[in-house]
């Protein structure tokens, strides 16, 4: 059980992280959010995004090991970014919501993975 | 597109500098690095060789800085990106399509041999399976006299479909894929009736071979052509990154329905999201034939005489403690290695290996020269028979030479047979049970029992894991070995950790092949490969879209038109050829002579016909019709399969055979992609009048900004 949940947690964290990074950009943030985010918000999204990406990588390493973790994570990242690009192209207004949803899901999945393991 | 003569000479000399000068400088650097470290000359030379492609790349970039008529570095790089990409684009597309398919080579082979049984998963433990298999071997009179027993378990390993007990006497013929075997039902352990012989097929292995050795062409030539294409792709990737100012924000940017702008967006997006994969695959692709691609490197460092170069290889083998030197093409070795053989010859070997439905047998890891996790290897270290895989022949020529082939097989004393010895065995089933507890359920791929070398030497029990634990090719921890009489573990001498450069090179090659990839990673590999195909295709199309002759410029340009036609023939035609390859597998008579070859012929005939079609039809019509045809031929593959075999999608689903289900799902998926593309072309053709009107009506500032932003990205001619 634990295996499947942490997989998904890593993917969700990567999605949340990438959402943060793209919403922090003027180009995408303006379109996706109701109002263009202020500078502090942009900074927060940017660094939060990076933190989530790091967290995702860490979960990948825990899940798949130090050897295969980064490899799988890199592959997963292109899938995640591809999905996000499609969202931004065709459903740009969904981006913030999906970002938050993935953030919440990351937490739930990570906690449940933790509980199952413990 | 009037190009002056001086300009042509200018470009010609730059190409000369980039190619010849680049090779010379790179080789010279190898020699310099080698002389800097006289104590470890071979290792230093090796490092230099690994670096040489980067140096060569830098030389090429240097040769093309400040092109005439270009403003500055970035525009020159953009020019280089455009033209390197275009020149080799079609071959690269072929390499990428066949290479991507080879990530599923064994799965494809399995689909192409519908006679093979459904793959089963089982809750039966390895120990139970092994116990029954050993009983069957013991009871069989021929098997009892054999010196090697191999039990392939139903496990988590790739395409481990059946519980198979094989035996051989270690002579070369039997060590091939054709050793006699018993297949056991994994639920009730009854001996299955000998299944109908699987049909001859070129399988996934032919695709794998084509992606580096092409076809209809001498091996040495083909490999070098692929090498040149790979180097140009390396240049194209790096210049693409340099050209690209806003690489990060383009991570997420796609603006559909804007013609050229959209093509550029798509090309950027696809290229950027899988960039690490492309870099890895390109650079590691160069390492496979390192010494053929940089022929002057070792001679510059060691001298041009053959003996001196041999001295380098010997020294390197000693320093890296490995006989399997990376990047050495076994071109001139006859005999065992298939490397030097011409395409047709090597291809003919294919069906033999695959003829028997041995899991991971003949179809096993042709690229892996080493004891990959997929391949069972009898303990060559201890002596005894080593199952040679036919599939190994491609690149292993140079490698198998170095290994000391044990001569124990020929010793009459060892011919007593495992059956006679079995009375003295310890509880070997318990060893398997213990190991499975340690490794996890389904993680033992196979178990091999081999007679000892001397008259009193104990037989050796060897257990191979289902999956490797290292990125490096051959870098896995060795299989577990036990003394079959006492049950003691035979601890093989600790292999010294290879030097860093060797580890990096081996990891690059391991990453290229992806043999370690379990299903999740294998899907990601497949995705990355498909994105690579899409990158090349979108780049090729972008080239034409940007240069479509307008009415003002005369409306027709031969070169441009040729590129358009070749694009249709390749981007739509090659996938059609691949589908036809699968069609041929089902439709050609099973007893056709040279059947495997005809499957391959079918691929190329279809490809050639699509070129003819593309040349004959008007541009957009050709696109639409070819795309429809390609889409249909992929879509209908599962239907064809259902008509011609009993292993249709529903049957596979019910049986829980996920490999067959996956293959057919991918067929449908590819069909969907081409159907979508065909639809796009169709809608574009239906509304030709609307575009100029919208342009005229569209607000002026908008068109201006889009033009500006295109110029801004500096992807121009």
Q: What is the pLDDT of residues B585-599, one digit of tens each?
A: 999 999 999 999 999
Least confident residue range of B173-177, B363-367, B446-450, B655-659:
B363-367
What pLDDT shows up at residue B169?
Answer: 79
Q: Do A75 and B511 touch (CB under 8 A)?
A: no
**Residue of chain B whose Cα is closest to the Cα of A4:** B520
What pLDDT shows up at residue B202?
Answer: 94
What pLDDT shows up at residue B180?
Answer: 82
Q: Do B277 and A74 touch (CB under 8 A)?
A: yes
Distance CA B154, CA B136 (A): 16
The per-type count for chain A, helices as H runs and strands as E runs, is 4, 0
Burial class from Cβ neighbours inside 10 Å (0-12, 13-18, 19+) for residue B644 reads middle
Q: Do B273 and A85 touch (CB under 8 A)?
A: yes
Task: Give contacts of B249 with chain A, Cβ < 8 Å.
Answer: 25, 27-28
Over residues B142-189, the pLDDT tens digits come to: 888 888 889 999 888 887 778 888 888 765 445 555 678 888 888 788
Q: Do B516 and A68 touch (CB under 8 A)?
A: yes
Quick check: B250 and B244 in contact, CB under 8 A? Answer: yes
Determine the average pLDDT of the residues in A84-108. Answer: 93
DSSP element (H, E) containing B234: helix B219-243
Distance CA B470, CA B373 (A): 9
Cα distances (angstroms) measured from residue B556 to each of B351, B422, B687, B716: 48, 80, 22, 20
Quick check: B447 and B425 in contact, CB under 8 A? Answer: no
Q: Is A7 on the interface with B (CB under 8 A)?
A: yes
Quick check: B462 and B447 in contact, CB under 8 A? Answer: yes
What pLDDT shows up at residue B643?
Answer: 95
Determine the average pLDDT of the residues in B81-93. Answer: 95
What pLDDT shows up at residue B688?
Answer: 60
**Of B207-211, B366-370, B430-434, B494-498, which has the strongest mean pLDDT?**
B207-211
What pLDDT shows up at residue B109?
Answer: 94
pLDDT tier for residue B511 given thresholds of 50, 70 and 90? very high
What pLDDT shows up at residue B377?
Answer: 34
CA atoms within 13 A on the CB side of B533: 21
What pLDDT shows up at residue B406?
Answer: 42
Q: Bigger pLDDT: B708 or A99?
A: A99
Chain A, residues 37-76, CB within 8 A of chain B, namely: 67-68, 71-72, 74-76
Map residue B478 onto helix, strand or coil: coil
Q: Distance from B232 to chain A by nearest Cα, in Å?
A: 24
The token pair at A58 is 């860490």
Strand boundaries in B28-75, DSSP class E = none
Over residues B366-395, the pLDDT tens digits come to: 333 333 333 333 333 333 333 333 333 333
Determine the average pLDDT of the residues in B393-410. Answer: 37
Task: Give contacts of A18 with chain B, Cβ < 8 Å.
Answer: 251-252
Angle subtended at Cα B673 by Cα B365 and Cα B227, rounded to the nearest 5 degrees: 40
pLDDT above 70 covers a percentage of chain B that reads 80
Task: Give contacts of B538 with chain A, Cβ < 8 Å.
Answer: none
Task: Give contacts of A88 with chain B, Cβ < 8 Å.
Answer: 252-254
Instruction: Select from B103, B250, B252 the residue whose CB has the most chain A CBs within 10 Å, as the one to mutate to test that interface.
Output: B252
What pLDDT shows up at residue B427?
Answer: 86
pLDDT tier for residue B361 given thresholds of 50, 70 and 90? very low
ipTM of model: 0.95
**Of B241-245, B255-259, B452-456, B533-537, which has the strongest mean pLDDT?**
B533-537
Q: Is A84 on the interface with B (CB under 8 A)?
A: yes
Q: Distance from A108 to chain B by nearest Cα, in Å?
A: 22
Task: Give contacts of B252 with chain A, Cβ < 8 Å.
Answer: 18, 22, 25, 28, 81, 84-85, 88
Q: Do B528 and A7 touch (CB under 8 A)?
A: no
Distance CA B670, CA B226 (A): 26
pLDDT above 90 covers a percentage of chain B that reads 46
Least confident residue range of A23-32, A86-95, B377-386:
B377-386
Quick check: B505 and B326 in contact, CB under 8 A? Answer: yes
Quick check: B459 and B449 in contact, CB under 8 A? Answer: yes
**Residue of chain B whose Cα is closest to the Cα of A8:** B520
Determine the average pLDDT of the residues in B459-468. Answer: 88
pLDDT tier for residue B194 given thresholds of 50, 70 and 90? low
Distance CA B385, CA B452 (A): 10
Q: Do B528 and A81 touch (CB under 8 A)?
A: no
**Residue of chain A whose Cα is closest to the Cα of B262:** A89
Determine the average pLDDT of the residues in A74-100. Answer: 93
Task: Give contacts of B273 with chain A, Cβ < 8 Å.
Answer: 77-78, 81-82, 85
Q: Is A85 on the interface with B (CB under 8 A)?
A: yes
pTM higher than 0.90, yes or no?
Answer: no
Task: Name beta bridge partners: B151.
Answer: B165, B447
What mean pLDDT, rounded, does chain B reach? 81
Does the pLDDT value for residue A86 go beyond 50?
yes
Task: Give contacts of A71 with chain B, Cβ < 8 Å.
Answer: 471, 511, 521
pLDDT tier for residue B3 given thresholds of 50, 70 and 90? low
Q: Bigger pLDDT: A53 or B164?
A: A53
Nearest by CB to residue B524, choosing from A27, A76, A84, is: A76
What pLDDT shows up at residue A45?
Answer: 94
The token pair at A88 is 């931004």
Over residues B104-137, the pLDDT tens digits come to: 999 999 999 998 888 777 778 888 999 999 888 8
B209: Cβ contacts below 8 Å, ≥ 6 apart? B343, B346, B347, B366, B394
């Amino acid at each position: 059980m634990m295996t499947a949940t942490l997989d998904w947690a890593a993917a969700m964290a990567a999605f949340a992280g990438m959402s943060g990074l793209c919403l922090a950009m003027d180009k995408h943030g303006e379109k996706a959010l109701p109002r263009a985010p202020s500078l502090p918000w942009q900074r927060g999204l940017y660094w939060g995004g990076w933190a989530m990406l790091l967290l995702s990588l860490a979960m990948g390493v825990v899940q798949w090991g130090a050897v295969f973790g980064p490899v799988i994570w890199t592959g997963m990242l292109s899938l995640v970014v591809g999905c996000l690009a499609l969202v931004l192209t065709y459903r740009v207004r969904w981006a913030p919501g999906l970002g938050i949803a993935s953030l919440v899901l990351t937490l739930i999945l990570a906690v449940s993975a933790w509980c199952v393991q413990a | 597109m009037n190009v002056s003569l001086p300009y042509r000479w200018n470009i010609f000399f730059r190409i000369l500098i980039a190619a010849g000068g680049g090779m010379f400088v790179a080789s010279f650097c190898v020699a310099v690095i080698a002389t800097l470290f006289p104590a470890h000359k071979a290792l230093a030379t090796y490092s230099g060789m690994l670096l040489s492609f980067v140096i060569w790349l830098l030389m090429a970039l240097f040769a093309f800085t400040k092109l005439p008529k270009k403003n500055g570095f970035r525009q020159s790089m953009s020019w280089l990106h455009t033209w390197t990409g275009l020149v080799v684009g079609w071959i690269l597309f072929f390499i990428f399509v066949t290479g991507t398919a080879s990530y599923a080579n064994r799965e494809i082979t399995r689909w192409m041999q519908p006679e093979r049984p459904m793959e089963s998963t089982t809750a039966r433990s390895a120990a139970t399976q092994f116990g029954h298999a050993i009983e069957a071997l013991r009871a069989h009179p021929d098997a009892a006299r054999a010196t090697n027993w191999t039990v392939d378990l139903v496990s988590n390993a790739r395409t481990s479909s059946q519980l198979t007990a094989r035996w051989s006497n270690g002579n070369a013929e039997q060590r091939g894929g054709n050793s006699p075997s018993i297949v056991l039902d994994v639920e009730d352990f009854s001996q299955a009736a000998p299944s109908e012989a699987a049909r001859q097929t070129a399988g996934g292995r032919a695709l794998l071979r084509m992606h580096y050795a092409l076809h209809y062409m001498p091996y040495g030539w083909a490999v070098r052509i692929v090498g040149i294409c790979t180097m140009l792709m390396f240049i194209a990737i790096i210049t693409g990154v340099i050209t690209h100012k806003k690489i990060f924000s383009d991570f997420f940017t796609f603006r559909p329905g804007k013609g050229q702008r959209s093509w550029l967006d798509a090309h950027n997006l696809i290229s950027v999201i899988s960039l690490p994969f492309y870099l890895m695959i390109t650079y590691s692709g160069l390492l496979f034939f390192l010494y053929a691609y940089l022929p002057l490197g070792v001679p510059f460092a060691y001298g041009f005489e053959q003996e001196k170069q041999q001295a380098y290889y010997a020294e390197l083998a000693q320093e890296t403690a490995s006989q399997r030197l990376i990047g050495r093409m076994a071109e001139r070795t006859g005999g065992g290695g298939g490397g030097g053989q011409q395409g047709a010859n090597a291809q003919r070997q294919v069906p033999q290996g695959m003829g028997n439905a041995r899991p991971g047998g003949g179809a096993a890891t042709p690229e892996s020269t080493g004891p990959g996790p997929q391949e069972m290897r009898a303990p060559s270290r201890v002596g005894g028979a080593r199952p040679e895989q036919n599939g190994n022949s491609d690149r292993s020529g140079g490698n198998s030479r170095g290994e000391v082939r044990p001569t124990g097989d020929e010793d009459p004393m060892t011919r007593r047979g495992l059956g006679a010895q079995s009375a003295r065995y310890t509880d070997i089933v318990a060893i398997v049970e213990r190991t499975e507890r340690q490794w996890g359920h389904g993680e033992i791929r196979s178990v091999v029992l081999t007679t000892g070398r001397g008259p009193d030497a104990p037989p050796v029990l060897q257990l191979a894991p289902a999956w490797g634990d290292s990125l490096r090719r051959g870098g896995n921890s060795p299989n577990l070995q036990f003394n079959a009489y006492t049950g003691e573990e035979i601890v093989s001498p600790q292999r010294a950790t290879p030097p860093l450069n060797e580890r990096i090179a081996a990891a690059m090659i391991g990453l290229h092949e992806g043999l370690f990839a379990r299903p999740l990673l294998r899907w990601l590999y497949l995705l990355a490969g498909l994105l690579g195909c899409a990158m090349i295709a979108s780049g090729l199309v972008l080239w034409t879209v940007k240069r479509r002759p307008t009415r003002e410029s005369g409306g027709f340009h031969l070169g441009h038109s040729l590129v358009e036609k070749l694009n249709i023939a390749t981007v739509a035609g090659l996938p059609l050829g691949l589908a036809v390859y699968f069609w041929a597998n089902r439709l050609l008579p099973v007893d056709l002579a040279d059947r495997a070859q005809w499957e391959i012929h079918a691929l190329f005939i279809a490809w050639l016909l699509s070129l003819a079609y593309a040349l004959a039809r008007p541009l957009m019509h050709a696109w639409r019709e070819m795309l429809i045809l390609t889409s249909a031929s992929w879509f209908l593959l599962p239907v064809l399969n259902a008509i011609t075999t009993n292993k249709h999608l529903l049957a596979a689903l019910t049986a829980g055979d996920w490999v067959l289900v996956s293959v057919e799902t991918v067929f449908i998926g590819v069909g969907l992609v081409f159907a979508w593309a065909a639809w796009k072309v169709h809608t574009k053709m239906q509304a030709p009048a609307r575009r100029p009107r919208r342009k005229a009506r569209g607000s002026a500032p908008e068109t201006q900004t889009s033009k500006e932003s295109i110029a801004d990205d500096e992807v121009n001619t």
